[in-house]
Amino acid sequence: MNKLARKGFAIKFINLNVNLGTFAPLKKENLIQGKLHAENYNLDKKTASFITHAKKQGRPIVAVGTTVTRALESAYKTPRALKLKGNTKLFIRSPYKFKIISALVTNFHVPKSSLMMLVATLMGRKQLLNTYQKAIKKHFRFFSFGDGMLILP
């Protein structure tokens, strides 16, 4: 993070209350209702202002983690305003259109998970499957403490 900051990247933080629902397998109800477990988030005013200003300037917002992605996308009210606190039940899947994030850093998730669906929505299902085949061949580690990837749609 220090190297990124020295190169001029702004690093901002969001408070998340991640729960075990993040790791729960998808259920039929999730698919029918289009909602997932709730996770609380808090953005401070400076971070929210920074994000809305950066979006207005056309600068990319790179989320680090799928939970951050869900929180930021749920915080969207208008192009000029973000909700500072709330909870997200957002189930990001195709054909969802991202409003806040431009890219994502995340790890390799397990198949048939909501996290995989979020990643597929951002990068495309075919590209995701190709990326995973390469990761398997190179013996990358999967799941929460596995290897990470930068996804640029």
- Render 119-139 in DSSP notation, one character per residue: HHHHH-HHHHHHHHHHHHHTT
Q: Rounded distance, CA 1 to CA 13, Å?
A: 12
The enclosing domain of 128 has a CATH number of 3.40.1780.10
Q: Rounded distance, CA 61 to CA 6, Å?
A: 18
Would residue 85 count as lying in a domain?
A: yes
pLDDT tens for 92-119 read 999 999 999 999 998 887 777 888 899 9
Decide if pLDDT at 44 tops 70.
yes
Element housing 118 (H / E): helix 114-123
Bond before 95 cis per omega within 30 degrees = yes
Percent of the chain with pLDDT over 70: 95
Q: Which domain holds residue 46?
A: 14-142
SS3 47: helix
Would residue 66 count as lying in a domain?
A: yes
Would residue 3 count as lying in a domain?
A: no
pTM: 0.87
When divided into structural domains, the chain yields a total of 1
